[in-house]
Structure 1
Amino acid sequence: MRPMFKQLAIAWALLVSVAAQGQDLHFSQFFNSPLTTNPANTGFIPDGDYRLGANFRNQWSSVMTLPYKTMSAFGDMQVAKDRFENGWVGVGAVVLRDVAGSGNLTSNKVYGSVAYHQMLGFASLLSLGFNIGYANKTINSSNLKFPDQFDGRFFDNKLPTSAVLAKNNVGYLDLQAGLNYALFPTDKIYVNTGFSVHHINQPTESFFENDGVPTDNRIPRRYIGFLNGSFMLNDQWILNPNAYYTTQAGVSQLVVGANAHYNLSGDGENILIGGMYYRHNEAVIPMIGLGYKDYMFTFSYDATVSTLKNYNNTRGAFEFSLVKQGVFNQFRGDRRATICPSFKNL
């Protein structure tokens, strides 16, 4: 295949892949990015009272000079536990940054979240959450190449183009809401499901203008549903199945799989993690990790199974995740330390 046609084929395959994934940022380890999955997860921490985390994703480095890089950092905690009968409030925040392609399309987003969690009897929990944030996007148009700059052999960005950006910086407010339900009939069984709506206000995001008015390019609402569980098989093994579905602008994504925790030290202080996930028609995602005391580090790799594998040799993306959970001693009281199966309860 001639180099130019190969580059165009790769670009087209990447474009199709982006469309298949939807427009928003995403992590394969969605369960390790709780506040971007559902704002009702804010303060919903089965293993503790507070949580801090960071995620990093590098995508398509095998076929792009400047791969897509997505980073996030988040923190949330439980508050007002003594203000409500069998309930509490969760507060938190998340920061997202994404840099994509030769145009250095850069997204910076900051969200603040709040959620209320109410116990229903002794074995279930209902949660409602909201978040509001500010998003900013910038692009370096001088590095972009447009179709009318193709001279028959190469793209030459020194040639004039009719595609003119009115500005290279846009910003807007963004709103999300979500609902969660958790069931934990015994200390060995935990099931959780949730649904969230993102971009409720459908903010306008466009670098183009028409007669001085920004082009009406509204971000379509995104819907996310998930189902996860935690099952203690014995004193050595805990199994965590997960399923995630999202749809936006007529495209959808389904991820299913499971990971297992193996008790290395007997007291739950040292844990070995392994798992496998599948993004429908997109990638197989193996995952490995380690848990040490209150820290959990995991690594996953997206092995492409779509038509893009013909160009990237199945090398899709890799992710790192680091999460710390802890307990505030002054809040423990006689309340259960965890509502999720844990080796530390042995």
Structure 2
Amino acid sequence: MGKVLRYGCTGWLVMALCMNAGAQDLHFSQFMNSPLTTNPANTGFIPEADYRVGIHYRSQWTSIPVPFKTASVFADFQVFRNKIENGWVGLGAVILNDAAGRGNLRSNKAYASVAYHQMVGLSSLISAGFNVGYASKRIDITKFTFDNQWNGKVFDAGNPTGETFLTNSTTSYFDLQVGMNYAYFPTENAYVNAGVSVHHINQPKETFFSNSGNEVPRRYIGFLNGSFKVNDNWIINPNAYYSNQAKASELVMGGNAAYNLMGDGSKVIFGGVYYRWNDAAIAMIGFEMKNLRFTFTYDATMSSLRTFNGSNGAMEFSLLRNGYYSEYFGDKNMRRQSLCPRF
């Protein structure tokens, strides 16, 4: 009987996790390397380049039989730099995919972003942007098992469950986000950036049932980061991130330091530590070469969940490519000065 209850509770736990996942957004520990999902005003806000392309992957709770896997790819560009006095427009797009739980709750999302950036004086920048996109989700109920399907030896999928199943296995909706940023760079060795954004501002409805529709709750995100060049060999980057949605909140704080390996900035290594409040300690290491930046983080669970997952929280990596248009157009005069500290 103990085994029946254990597996039965597992089935309900997985289903509960999947339903909760439907109400909660995807997230990355490397929020600083996922700019378009953090704030649409980040679109085209690239202090050290003219464009960037990135990929991101996260695998969470692999030691529990309901792993969560999230991947994204994004790109954004600065346009009209020569048409707008002391300002420019950012254009970008991001695609996300997420698979969660035994029921294979799969989410696919695609967003297009637009932002406007305006210099204020010689040392400040204000940005505002929005994105609009389409989200779809599906779930496979046949992957679930329930306690009344246990025949004493194995789970028999042919046994009736007595449960009220979902009417639809898919759901979809249009989505809208808005955000604002402010950056301050008084010297070439100091840079501070802060931003706020509201996600699901239109509160779209999503449901797997035909007779009800749950509104996706608005998500509020705020972040603060900085970059400070200590000397020719070291740059430090403190970061903080806060998110709140449907009474669920997330606070991440920490920082990393970059070391100039070659003296000319062509090869840089970096590492750091972050902490997600009441959840996990996050270790970061990375390497940058020729405008390619690879970052790896590992989340060690610190909450009571560590009893079940052995503190194995999540592995995450990102690969970013920053570049200048002069690389393709051949006019070196097009290369502009970076707004943040660089080696």
Any idea what SS the aligned residue of 1:209 has? Answer: coil
Once the two structures are TM-superposed, the CA of residue 159 in structure 1 deviates from its matched residue by: 2.9
Structure 1 Cα separation of the partners of residues 102 and 21 of structure 2: 21
Once the two structures are TM-superposed, the CA of residue 67 in structure 1 deviates from its matched residue by: 1.4
Q: Residue 130 of structure 2 contacts residue 177 of structure 2 at CA under 8 Å; is this kept in 1?
A: yes
- C-alpha spacing 1:3/1:227, structure 2 compared with 1 (3 Å): farther
Match for residue 248 of structure 1? Answer: 245
Match for residue 304 of structure 1? Answer: 301
Q: Residue 7 of structure 2 contacts residue 147 of structure 2 at CA under 8 Å; is this kept in 1?
A: no
Match for residue 130 of structure 1? Answer: 130
Structure 2 Cα separation of the partners of residues 147 and 132 of structure 1: 42
Match for residue 230 of structure 1? Answer: 227
- C-alpha spacing 1:156/1:251, structure 2 compared with 1 (3 Å): farther
Once the two structures are TM-superposed, the CA of residue 33 in structure 1 deviates from its matched residue by: 0.3
TM-score (norm 1): 0.91
Any idea what SS the aligned residue of 2:222 has? Answer: strand
Structure 2 Cα separation of the partners of residues 41 and 295 of structure 1: 19
Match for residue 267 of structure 1? Answer: 264
Structure 1 Cα separation of the partners of residues 264 and 19 of structure 2: 44
- State, as a whole percentage, how many aligned pairs show the same letter: 54
Once the two structures are TM-superposed, the CA of residue 5 in structure 1 deviates from its matched residue by: 4.0
Q: Deviations over 1:17-59 (max 9, x none)?
A: 9969971000000000000000000000001000000000001
Report matched runs for 1:274-289 at 5 Å: 274-289=271-286
- C-alpha spacing 1:331/1:141, structure 2 compared with 1 (3 Å): farther
Match for residue 40 of structure 2? Answer: 39
Structure 2 Cα separation of the partners of residues 18 and 230 of structure 1: 39
Structure 1 Cα separation of the partners of residues 221 and 78 of structure 2: 24
Structure 2 Cα separation of the partners of residues 52 and 260 of structure 1: 23
Match for residue 143 of structure 2? Answer: 143
Report matched runs for 1:55-204 at 5 Å: 55-64=56-65, 66-146=66-146, 157-160=157-160, 161-204=162-205
Structure 1 Cα separation of the partners of residues 78 and 145 of structure 2: 49
Structure 1 Cα separation of the partners of residues 12 and 90 of structure 2: 43
Q: Residue 10 of structure 1 contacts residue 308 of structure 1 at CA under 8 Å; is this kept in 2?
A: no
Structure 2: stretches of 5+ with no match in the other structure? none
Once the two structures are TM-superposed, the CA of residue 10 in structure 1 deviates from its matched residue by: 11
Any idea what SS the aligned residue of 2:293 has? Answer: strand
- C-alpha spacing 1:104/1:82, structure 2 compared with 1 (3 Å): same
Q: Which moved more, 1:183-192 or 1:329-338?
A: 329-338
Answering whether residue 219 of structure 2 is matched by residue 218 of structure 1, we say no
Once the two structures are TM-superposed, the CA of residue 252 in structure 1 deviates from its matched residue by: 0.5
Q: Deviations over 1:278-306 (max 9, x none)?
A: 00000000010100110000100010000
Structure 2 Cα separation of the partners of residues 62 and 3 of structure 1: 22
Q: Deviations over 1:174-228 (max 9, x none)?
A: 0000000000000000000000000011111110122xxxx12110000000000
Counterpart amino acid of 1:202? Answer: Q
Q: Deviations over 1:135-189 (max 9, x none)?
A: 0111111112357657799865433233221111111100000000000000000
Once the two structures are TM-superposed, the CA of residue 336 in structure 1 deviates from its matched residue by: 4.0
Any idea what SS the aligned residue of 1:310 has? Answer: helix
Once the two structures are TM-superposed, the CA of residue 131 in structure 1 deviates from its matched residue by: 0.2
TM-score (norm 2): 0.91
Match for residue 26 of structure 1? Answer: 27
Q: Which moved more, 1:23-32 or 1:155-164?
A: 155-164
The Cα RMSD (Å) is 2.7
Any idea what SS the aligned residue of 2:82 has? Answer: coil
Structure 1: stretches of 5+ with no match in the other structure? none
Structure 2 Cα separation of the partners of residues 220 and 135 of structure 1: 14
Q: Residue 295 of structure 1 contacts residue 325 of structure 1 at CA under 8 Å; is this kept in 2?
A: yes
